[in-house]
Amino acid sequence: MSWYKRSQQSVEIYMEEYKNSLWRSLIDTVESSQRRIEEISTMNVNKTEFINSLNSLSYPNYQEIINCDSLSEDIYDRFEKWFWNSYLYGENKYDIEFRNRGKYVLDTMESLSGNSSSSAFTQEQALELFNELVNKTQVEQIKNKNLIESSIRGIPGFSSSVIIGVPSIDRDYNYEYGEDAAQVYLDSFSDGPMFSLFKRENDTFIIDDIADSAEDIEFFIDEKTKKDYYQLVNKIQNIGKNQKPITLYTARPVKDRKTYEGSDFVPSNIFLTSNYGRVEGIALELSGSEKYRDIWRVKIDPQYLIVTYDGGSFKDYQTIGDKFVPVEKLTLISTGE
């Protein structure tokens, strides 16, 4: 919410949107479960259609279902596990017709067993799962908070407050795990500048949605907030990395050539990339049909950079700092005329 602001430097976790969306989703699941139980309990079973549908799925334990006197929970569970594994990972992956036939077989098996009510997802179970997931998410977000606080301690003069917003859940949310992703805001939740923080499987972090365009930069209320923002992104991106200078490329207007020639500095907030072919294409795109962009090779310390895009084989960067940042070497390698 835009009203959620802090006047002093702090790092806080805000989980209300996550909790509200999680509870709505769980209640929707309860209601959906109840509707399904009602449909199954009044289902008019056509055994011939059931056998034909089961046969069409090529279930390896087909005879186990056909020949049994009563459908036990074990038989149902074995088929259900096989069916979803085939649909999600096997040769029938995302085959809608296969999915519909399999769900019909599952519903019919429940109806025949007379135990459909035992599979109902209740509001009591929803509340129990809600509390469990909120606790798991709190643990993950405390890790994010510790990461941000340790990063801030390495930034001299950092004064912005930080709000860790846990995002609302989406339709594909996995109810087994707590949410470890976060939207990190400076000074004002939803109105302030933000970036997204994601944790990889090896417990390293990746940052996305970085403010790197003229439109995004309008979120900064002053230069101090802007400086804090980019320094925090830089600190997190470079955790555990060897801070050796790297070589990048940038396309700059021909009219600015004299500014760069012989200089030990480049402006802050300019675009650089690790891929020469990419910067060459950008130079042409920005220049139109005529080549009015010089291409420069820049050797620079990573402390003056943030990664704005990780393309795997290449990375895009933006310089950060006050008006200018130092470089170790600046070389004109392609002229725009």
Rounded to whole angstroms, how far apart are CA atoms 191 and 162? 12
Q: Is the model's pLDDT at 3 over the cut of 80?
A: no
Say which CATH architecture domain 242-337 belongs to.
Alpha-Beta Barrel (3.20)
Return the pLDDT at 68.
Answer: 77
**Percent helix, strand and coil across the chain, each to the nearest 5:** 45, 20, 35
Q: Please state the domain extents for the chain.
A: 25-119, 242-337
- DSSP 8-state class, residue 301: -
- CA gap 82, 85 in Å, rounded: 5
Q: For the chain, what's the residue count? A: 337
Mean pLDDT over the full length of the chain: 87
* CA neighbours closer than 13 Å in the CB half-sphere of residue 308: 19
Q: β-pairing, 11-14 with 162-165?
A: parallel
Q: What is the DSSP secondary-structure string of 164-185?
A: EEPPPP-TT--TTS----EEEE
Average pLDDT over residues 3-15: 73
Tens digits of residue pLDDT in 236-256: 998 877 778 999 999 998 889
pLDDT value at residue 292: 75
Cβ-count burial 66-81 (b if 16+ within 10 Å, e if not): eeeeebeeebbebbee
pLDDT score at 175: 85
186 CB-near residues (< 8 Å, 6+ apart): 160, 161, 162, 163, 192, 193, 194, 225, 228, 229, 232
Residues paired with residue 134 on neighbouring β-strands, in sequence order: none
The partner residues of 5 in beta bridges, in order of sequence, read 188
- The model's pLDDT over 279-295, given as tens digits with 9 standing for 90+, comes to 988 877 766 645 578 99
The pTM is what?
0.71
- Asked whether the predicted pLDDT for residue 55 surpasses 50, the reply is yes
Extended beta strands in the chain, E state: 11-14, 162-165, 182-186, 194-199, 205-208, 246-253, 265-267, 271-273, 293-300, 305-310, 315-319, 324-326, 329-334
**What's at 257, amino acid-wise?**
R
Sign of the Cα torsion 312, 315, 320, 325 reads positive
Residue with the larger pLDDT of the pair 142 and 284? 142
Q: Is the dihedral of CA 86, 90, 91, 97 positive or negative?
A: positive
Instruction: Give pLDDT, residue 22.
Output: 95
Q: Is 294 helix (H, G, I), strand (E, B) or coil?
A: strand
Specify whether the CB–CB gap between 265 and 324 falls below 8 A. yes
Residue 120: per-residue pLDDT = 78
Interatomic CA distance for residues 143 and 200, integer angstroms: 13
User: How far is residue 293's CA from residue 337's CA, in Å, rounded to a whole number?
Assistant: 8
Note the pLDDT tens digit of each residue in 186-225.
987 777 789 999 987 777 788 999 887 656 666 787 888 8
The rounded distance, in Å, linking the Cα atoms of 275 and 136 is 40
Tally DSSP H helices, then E strands, for the chain: 10, 13
Give the integer Cα–Cα distance in Å for 260 and 75.
Answer: 74
